[in-house]
Structure 1
Amino acid sequence: MEMFNNRKRNPLSAIDASYEDPSVEAIDTIRKKIEANTISEGSNTLSRLDGFEKQLEEREALLKQKKNNIKNIIEAQVGEECKRLKDEYDALKVRLESEYNKCFIDMKQTTYSFKHQLEDQHNSRSADLERQYKSRITTLEKALLEING
């Protein structure tokens, strides 16, 4: 009840009331139209209100169109950027695969070369060892012949 008495002494303006209930704004517009019809020059005021509402509707439609245009531009730019990034990614991927394949081939060639170097070293040492052993055997055989002989 205290709230009612407070409102009675200090009534809300239409603006304050519209914050509490949006339908108050619509009711206020209807009230203005009714008042406009009852006062002198009412039809002129009503006509101006109607014109103002039409302007608002036109501006709202224009804003919606601009919003849609901006949205479409942004979507197009995002699409182009995605395509550019995908193309860049694909190019980098191809370059990386090419570099990987080159490195792989280089490693195979290096491994092949090392294998043959090791085989050559092994064969060379084997031949040296074989000569050394034959030389020692020959020396031992000569020593045995002299002892037996």
Structure 2
Amino acid sequence: MKKLALLFAGLSLFAATGCSSDSDTVLEAPLVGTWQPLKEVVTTVEVGEDPVSNTITYTDCQKQTRWFFSVDSKGAKTNWGDTATPGVCAILSDIKFNYTYDKDSKSVQMKIQGVVEPQNAKVVTLDNNTLNLAVREETQDPTVFQTRTYTFRRVVQ
């Protein structure tokens, strides 16, 4: 009976420690690269109310927009959109920013040129092909909170 108890204890200890090793760490894809937005979800929360979300699906012109994150913490966003002429796309704005990315907290802070307050964001998903970035939007009303979550696809160059 003692041998059976020792065998059970040994198997329990083996199962508890498992077969994991220090090499089982999950690697996160880099934020650095070129990203194409596919859609965004705007979520608004008023204090004491249920959240309201609206999905914005981009047109083919809007999908030409590109966000760039470089290794030297510089970024850019080139916004494309429809013009007055049907079927013709054009660059609507070109925005430059510096950014910091904290992998541990998944927080991104973007300091846009010409704007005093930085934009704060959170990486929701980041892998080799997909980035979901939730950007906190400032509102005039302190009882209303708004987040704009972008879904991106990595553009391979």
- Give the number of the structure whose residues are more often helix, by fraction: 1
- Give the number of the structure whose residues are more often strand, by fraction: 2
* Same topology, TM > 0.5: no
In our comparison, the structure showing a higher alpha carbon Rg is 1
